Homo-oligomer: A and B are copies of this chain.
Amino acid sequence: MNNYPTLRQLQYLCAIDKYMNFRIAAEECFITQPTLSAAIKEMEQLLGNQVLDRTNRKKIIFTPFGQEVVQTAKAILPQLDQLTANAQRLSEPLSGLIRLGIIPTIAPYLLPDILPILQNKFPKMAFKITEDLSASLVDKIQEGDLDLILMAFPYDTEKLETFSLLKENFYCACPPDYFPNKKSLKTDDLKNHHLLLLEDGHCLRDHALESCKLQLPNDQKLLSATSLQTILQMVAQGYGITLLPKMVVDTKILPQNIKIIPLKNPTPTREIGFAWRKGSPQVSNIQAISKEIKAHLK
C-alpha cells in the first residue's frame, strides 16, 4: 500500500502557490500558520524531497520538485471537486438516476403514459429505461444494475420489495367470426382453439397459461411468437385466438379484423407493479415514484 501526501497537504501547498505567503494561505485554508508550516514540512518528510526552498524566510521559493507536486495537485483537486459537486447534486431529495427496467408486455402500453408524468413531477431525476424479460430484470436488479423494475405479478421476486399499481383483466382476442353472439367467455370456451402466445420467458404467456392451463390439453395447439404485434397479426388473419391484458386491448392501434371478448367466471388477471431491492439506496425516490404513478393510474 502506497503512502501518499494527504489531499489536505496538497490543498495547502496549492494555497501557498496561490498566495505566496504562509500567513495568508493559512487563513484561506482556515488553519493557523504553524499548522500550515507543519503540514508542508511533513509532506516533505514523507516525499523525501524538499518542496520549498528555506533559503530566504521572506521569499517563498518552490523547488522544481515542489512545482511538480503543485502541478499534480492542480490536476487532481478539480477532479475531486467535480466528484463532490456531483455528490452534492445527487444527495438532493428526488434527484439522481433511476435505472428502470420494464417487461416488453408493459413497456409499449404504459411507458408513453407514465414517463412524461415522471419527468414532469421529478425534474431533477433522470430515468434510464431497460426493456427485458422478467427473469433477466430480476437478475439485473439483484446485481445492482437496475434500481427499479416495472413488471407483472404473480412472479417469484425472491427478496425484492414490491408495490402494486393495478390489477387488469385478460380479454380474449379472436377473428371476427369466432364465438358468434357471445358477450363474454369462460376459459373453457377457449378449448379446442389454436391459442397463440408469446414465446417462453414472457410472463404474459405464463399468466395466460396459468389462468387456463387446467382447461388446456397438452397438445400442439399452442403457438409461440416473439412479439404481441406478431400474435395480433396472426389472430387477425384467422390463425387462432389469444389472451390480451386490458392495457393492450385499450391500445388504439389494434389491427382491424380482431374481436375482443371479455372473460368471466373466473376472470383471469395479471397484476402490474414495481419491484426493487430491499434497502436500496433509492427507496425514498422509489416510494415517491410509486405513489405518483399509482395516483395517476387511477
Contacts and interface: CB of A to CB of B under 8 A. Distances in A.
Interface of A: 1-7, 11, 28-30, 47-50, 53-56, 59, 61-65, 68-69, 72, 75-77, 79-84, 86-88, 90-91, 96-97, 99, 142-144, 277-281
24 contacts: A2-B11, A2-B77, A4-B7, A4-B80, A4-B84, A5-B83, A6-B6, A7-B7, A47-B91, A48-B87, A48-B91, A49-B90, A49-B91, A49-B281, A53-B279, A53-B281, A61-B144, A64-B97, A65-B87, A65-B96, A69-B83, A72-B83, A75-B79, A76-B79
A4 to B, nearest CB: 5
Contacts of A56: 142, 277
A63 B144 contact: yes
A80 B76 contact: yes
Contacts of A7: 4, 6-7
A62 to B, nearest CB: 7
B61 A83 contact: no
Given A30-B1, A62-B144, A72-B79, A53 B280 contact: yes
Contacts of A88: 48
Given A4-B7, A97-B64, A144-B62, A55 B87 contact: no
Contact of A61 (B1, B11, B90, B143): B143
B11 A54 contact: no
B53 A277 contact: yes
Contacts of A143: 61
Contacts of A4: 7, 77, 80, 84
Contact of A1 (B29, B69, B279): B29
A55 B278 contact: yes
A276 to B, nearest CB: 9
Contact of A277 (B55, B69, B91): B55
Given A49-B281, A91-B48, A68 B55 contact: no
Contacts of A53: 144, 277, 279-281
Contact of A68 (B3, B50, B83, B278): B83
A57 to B, nearest CB: 10
Contacts of A3: 84
A277 B69 CA distance: 22
A279 B144 contact: no
A47 B1 contact: no
A2 B281 contact: no
B68 A72 contact: no
A86 B68 contact: yes
A28 B67 CA distance: 32
Contacts of A87: 47-49, 65
Contacts of A50: 281
Contact of A55 (B28, B91, B280): B280
